[in-house]
Structure 1
Amino acid sequence: MRIGEIIGSVTLSRAHPSIQGASWKLVVPFDQAALRGDDAGRGEPLVAFDELGAGLGSIIALSEGAEAAAPFNPEQKPLDAYNAALLENIELVDEDS
């Protein structure tokens, strides 16, 4: 699971019936440098399935790959990225402390 920021939304003209009723968000994943405020740590944008109602600028927990479809088991959904949680606060602790 990764942390990312919503930077936009995606509109589909057609979708598989199993994924209708939710929205698609454009997400930039963060690495540790980005979490500390360095824009160089922002990854390549990707599209994620969102049933939680994340808005522009929201920070989310992003599940990818097979784990993205796991919450819907046994129903199968053709997903590669899923908004697993809306994050209000992120606290980073230095391991040296």
Structure 2
Amino acid sequence: MRIGEVIGHVTLSTYHPKLRAGRWKLAVPMKLSALQGDPAGRSEAIVIYDELGAGLGSQIAIAEGPEATAPFHPEQKPIDGYNAAILDHLDIEDV
């Protein structure tokens, strides 16, 4: 699971019928340096499936790969990234 920031939304003209309830968001996964304020620590943007209603600028927890489909078990949904949580507050401690 990675932490990311929502930077936009995606509009589709057609989609798989099992994906009606959610929205598609464009999110940037962030490395630790980005979470500490360094803009160079951002990764390439990815498209994620969002049923929680994250808005622009929201920090979210992103599940990818097989874990992205876990919330829908036993139903199968064709997604690669899923918004698992909207983060209200994030504390980063130096270790």
TM bucket normalised to smaller: over 0.9
Identify the residue that residue 23 of structure 1 maps to in structure 2: 23
Give aligned-pair identity as a percent.
60
Identify the residue that residue 9 of structure 1 maps to in structure 2: 9
Q: What is the TM-score with the length of structure 2 in the denominator?
A: 0.98
Provide the aligned C-alpha RMSD in A.
Answer: 0.5
Matched, 1:47 2:26: no
Q: What letter is aligned with 1:47?
A: V
Divergent runs of 4+, >3 A: none
**Structure 1 residue 93, shift from structure 2 partner:** 1.0
Where in structure 2 are there 5+ consecutive unaligned residues? none
* Residues 58-90 of structure 1: CA deviation (Å, up to 9, x unaligned): 000000001000110000000100000000111
**1:92 aligned counterpart, secondary structure:** coil
Where in structure 1 are there 5+ consecutive unaligned residues? none
Identify the residue that residue 57 of structure 1 maps to in structure 2: 57
Q: What is the TM-score with the length of structure 1 in the denominator?
A: 0.96
**2:43 aligned counterpart, secondary structure:** coil
